Structure 1
Amino acid sequence: MLVETDAQTLERPGGDTPRTIRLHESDNVAIVVNAFGLPAGTTFPDGLRLVEFVPQGHKVALADIPEGGHVRRYGEVVGIATQAIPKGSWVEESRVATPTAPDLDALELSNRVPAPLPPLEGYTFAGYRNPDGSVGTKNILAISISVQCVAGTLDVAIRRIKQELLPRFPNVDDVVGLTHAYGCGVAINAPQAVIPIRTLQSLAQNPNFGGEVMVVGLGCEKLVSERLLPDGRDAAGDSGVVRLQDERHQGFSMMMDSIMAMAEARLEVLNRRTRETCPASELVVGLQCGGSDAFSGVTANPALGFCADLIVRCGGTVMFSEVTEVRDAIHLLTPRAQTPEIARALIREMAWYDAYLAKGEADRRANPSPGNKKGGLNNIVEKALGSVAKSGTGAISGVLAPGERVRDKGLIFAATPASDFVCGTLQLASGITLQVFSTGRGTPYGLAQCPVIKVATRTELAERWSDLIDLDAGRIATGHATIEEVGWELFHLILDVASGRKRPWSDRWGLFNDLTLFNPAPVT
């Protein structure tokens, strides 16, 4: 875990006793655990008395906080009191100002690198080995497009492929389109165009797609189709591209015939893939949170962090992301970077995003959503400190710019925006084959390209959304499970899902978000 948890706050409950969670001995606030909150006059076993109603997950002052005083949670300053906040009061958003972000020029670099985690051996999953050495958790035909103009055509083709071809290839899980809104009407040579182009190139090579790259293009777009192929051709010896404007296409039916023929050739190759036993070191797992609340950094994210440590101990790869949800906790991460070069790469991504936001006349304070605040998060500082709990306790072994493919094992920071669907798209491009998504407010988010395991921060959500949530981490807050127990449960669930033995709810329902490119370059 990133922070120590006061064991006294996690004792097993008796009845509906008023309960709070305080995460660090220096904290002067705690969050209310009880569902629906607690009314004024509620007295806790330690003598604390509420002077007003405090909603579930929101902070109560454990001591008088003067105007201008620090509000402390996670052992860190998460706010500045804009007015006096008496003991027992609700530390509501309007009473707290956002602290200044850590100075990137004053950060400690690799001076508290954690010792290597003890190896964890003997864990395996049933995955799909690829010619390049990577291992997938699904067997999918993915068809890229070079420009949004052909997205509708590809949708028609995929419906036909699923109906007419896919039943003949039982070992192939699905056919998906890697569609997007890029490719033309864009400043293709602008410096930041490298991000969407690199993302599309990397997406096509995700291990769940078996190396069978196929592109449908138009013919007049700025992003020429061949740029999306690994080397301009594919293993089948054809071009890898169906171009709709080719003169050989006499109408829409012939375009469909070309797409169907190329898809069939790739389905035949993918159908020969079979699951085989692979060590857990071949896992590439992405971690993300969305619809976060004040429990995220108490229950689900620390459990994800514990699980991340287990995967790293197995020799596997774990990615955490979301720059604006790391920025205010960056001072806790650069000391953990394995080398000063990795620490400086972390700083580089923070600085790039600071400049990107400034150019748009915004800053990281724009991140928390209304739902985040309703769930008890006052500001981005508090949100970030809970978010980075997903990173566990190990050394950070690599940093990826947006859309870069993963090169290293271990704990990797993959720079992305915090937007759920943009982050998911970029993590897929970086090579995740499975994602774990924690949520406190709830979201039906899912990805067709890889399994998504949904973890609830609160038992109330897990029970209300029992057919959308795969794992309840809220038991940590009520004392019915420990962080370690839920972390191990998640680890075994990952192995089962990666092996195809279990399907997360998003797969069972077919609940999938569209891919969304991050494009900071100009649109012409």
Structure 2
Amino acid sequence: MQVANSDIVIITTPKDNVGIVVNPLGLAEGTVLQEGTVLLQFVPSGHKVALCDIAVGKEIIRYAEIIGYANKLIKRGEWIEESKMSLPTPPELQFISLPEANEIIPEMEPLEGYTFQGYRNADGSVGTKNILGITTSVQCVAGLTEHLAKKIKQELLPLYPNVDDVVALNHTYGCGVAITAPAAIVPIRTIQNIAKNPNFGGGIMVIGLGCEKLRPESLVPKKDDSSEFGADESYSSITYMQDESFHGFNEMVEGIMKTAEIHLKSLNKRQRETCPASDLVVGMQCGGSDAFSGLTANPAAGFAADLIVRAGGSVMFSEVTEVRDAIHLLVPRTINPAVGRALLNEMKWYDDYLSLGQADRSANTTPGNKLGGLSNIVEKALGSIAKSGTSPIVDVLSPGERIRRKGLTFAATPASDFVCGTLQLASGMNMHVFMTGRGTPYGLSMVPVIKVGSNSKLSQRWFDLIDFDAGKIASGEKTIEEMGWELFLLILDVASGKKQVACDVLGLHNDLVLFNPGPLT
């Protein structure tokens, strides 16, 4: 990465014909860059300046890739804004070459000796929190679960010091839905797999109404001798509000409180123990991105992702529309043709899904993205995939599926922050790393969320909302490698409970949002 004139403009590769302004206040008309370009107008921070004349129809290049075509003459030194660019067509999926037919994963130098303090579960998974989760089979009972979570926190939780929290896992599914439709498998398995997240220790509770289509029995992880609760079926984790044995709301609540005590007693027995870094399952996600995201926060997260993979751990990256335009760079990283084909299939499935809704991937880029210097989805995607690092892609998950392999996995999700986080939670993440350039209070109560700021201006202004300032890369204070190591060590500390993330300190947690492509009835 070349830096011009005292860190004022960043040029990502020698092939680029644009530079990114770093100065927090932007650069004034008449500024002379180190390579000789004279700015013809003011260029805001994070935005692109042309480093040569670009004729109509000619390529605009960043990251050594075409991010658009000039729709008017762009003179050297001009600010390249969205209105001056035409969007390229996406890569043709059928013409992307699959990797060679082999099962050999390219070797990465092992990283040994790194550990964290986690909660070991009977199935071998490891939690980074110890939480009593209360899920629902239908949205109708959300008021009750919120009431219960508050009451349990106030009256019971103080008696069980090893339990971190009580969380109501509410959602908007369960009734008025065609649960046998093919696409219904996405929300159903998402709810089922959230209940299996390692931070719940196998002790989920379920509140149902009684008349819903999605039956509560399908949401409880099957108990056996290897579960936290053993094979004893003397009590049920399921409560129906319509159970005729209840006389009034208070009796219903008291009955559920007794079940909660059984769960809390079991969860309270869990103790943190030393676990290898290979037990990490880290979800990587970005939201509220800007032009610095692909230069600082995402590359630092990608470096940390490589360290986790080298340590034997698991990393997921997601957001289909934010990798679609960079798919030609990802398929060659898959370990075999089957994984490569699965990756292409997820892109095709989502193309078709958007087409049915009369939308396309260009709708992804938000007004905030554009204000932060990202002109279109192509530029955004090329920066987004940096958070995947350089490791080989060992598996591809459809939305809501559980992670199956150690290493780097693509977990297909929409790009919506809340939907992506919900689906990664279902896939089994026990840590979440979230990169942002514009800023967001995003957080999840179920897993720790480390928020990484892409620029120091944001990180300093939101000093109590951002956990990690990757903007030091843009200013030249730190390298991507240095920040990647720092982030990796922070992940271990947060997973161990040694450090608390900002959203947990402030109690800022988003609701779960299911991806439901299935029909309503």
Q: Report the equivalent of 1:489.
A: 486
Alignment correspondent of 1:350: 347
State whether residues 114 and 336 of structure 1, in contact with CA within 8 Å, keep that contact through their aligned partners in structure 2.
no
TM-score by length of 2: 0.97
Contact residue 18 and residue 42 of structure 1 kept, 8 A: no
* SS in structure 2 of the partner of residue 477 of structure 1: coil
Structure 2 unmatched runs, 5+: none
Residues 48 and 80, structure 2, Cα contact 8 Å, conserved in 1: yes
Shift of 1:239: 2.8
Q: How far apart, in 2, do the equivalents of 1:401 and 1:445 lie? A: 24
Residue among 412, 417, 423 paired with 1:426? 423
* Equivalent residues in 2 for 1:244-393, closer than 5 Å: 244-393=241-390
Residues 7 and 476, structure 2, Cα contact 8 Å, conserved in 1: no
CA distance in 1, matches of 2:193, 2:456: 37
Are residues 363 and 171 of structure 1, via their aligned partners in 2, closer, same or farther at CA, if it must alter by over 3 Å? same
Residue 24, structure 1, aligned to residue 13, structure 2: yes
What is residue 209 of structure 1 aligned with on the other side? 200
Hey, what's the Cα distance between the residues in 2 that align with 1:381 and 1:114? Answer: 29
Quick one: distance in 1 between partners of 2:100 and 2:361?
A: 27
Distance 1:232 1:450 in 2: 23
Are 1:184 and 2:175 counterparts?
yes
Paired letter, 1:82: N
| Aligned residue among 86, 90, 102 for 2:75 | 86
Counterparts of 2:240 and 2:346, CA distance in 1: 37
More moved, 234-243 vs 300-309: 234-243
Question: Post-superposition shift, 1:18?
Answer: 6.7
Aligned 8 A contact 1:394 1:411 in 2: yes
Map of 2:434 onto structure 1: 437
Deviation string, structure 1 residues 210-254 (Cα, Å, up to 9, x no partner): 000210000000101001012378645233200111111111111
| 2:37 counterpart residue number | 48
> Which residue is equivalent to 1:230?
221
**Equivalent-residue separation in structure 1 for 2:91 and 2:256 (angstroms):** 52
Q: CA RMSD, aligned part only?
A: 1.3
**Who is 1:509 aligned against?**
506
1:114: how far off? 7.4
Q: Which amino acid aligns with 1:85?
A: I
Equivalent position to 1:109, from 86, 89, 98: 98
Instruction: Kindly indicate whether residue 401 of structure 2 is the aligned counterpart of residue 404 of structure 1.
Output: yes
Distance (whole Å) between structure 1 residues aligned to residue 196 and residue 158 of structure 2? 24
Q: Which among 65, 68, 92 is matched to residue 76 of structure 1? A: 65
Distance 1:453 1:110 in 2: 34
Report the counterpart of residue 61 of structure 1 in structure 2: 50
Task: Verify: 1:33 aligned to 2:30, yes or no.
Answer: no
Q: 1:3-25 CA distances to partner (integer Å, 9 max, x unpaired)?
A: xx23x55xxx8xxx571101111
CA distance in 1, matches of 2:52, 2:118: 53
Deviation at 1:116, TM superposition (A): 1.6
Query: Retained in 2: the 8 A contact 1:114–1:393?
Result: no
Q: Deviations over 1:462-513 (max 9, x none)?
A: 1100001111100100100000000000000000000000001011001100
**Distance of 2:72 and 2:293 partners within structure 1:** 27
Supply the AA of the counterpart residue of 2:178: A
1:128 aligned to 2:119?
Answer: yes
Q: Take 1:348 and 1:39, find their aligned partners in 2: how far apart are those partners?
A: 47
TM-score for both structures, normalised by structure 1: 0.96
Aligned counterpart for 2:191 among listed residues 187, 200, 208? 200
Q: Deviations over 1:431-464 (max 9, x none)?
A: 0011000100000100000000011100101110
Which consecutive unaligned segments of at least 5 residues does structure 1 have? none
Task: Decide which moves more: 431-440 or 233-242.
Answer: 233-242
Q: Separation in 1 of the partners of 2:21 and 2:483?
A: 21
Q: Is the 8 A contact 1:114 1:394 kept in 2?
A: no
Confirm or deny: 8 A CA contact 1:116 1:394 kept in the other structure.
no
- Which amino acid is 1:381 matched to? V
Larger mean Cα displacement after TM superposition, 355-364 or 240-249: 240-249
Contact 2:7 2:474 in 1 (8 A): no
Q: Is the 8 A contact 1:62 1:87 kept in 2?
A: yes
Distance 1:28 1:366 in 2: 26
Structure 2: how far apart are the matches of 1:521 and 1:251?
A: 35
Percent of residue pairs identical: 62
Does the residue aligned with 1:474 lie in a helix, a strand or coil? helix
Q: Deviations over 1:405-454 (max 9, x none)?
A: 11110000000000000000000000001100010000010000000001
Alpha-carbon distance in 1 for matches of 2:18, 2:349? 33
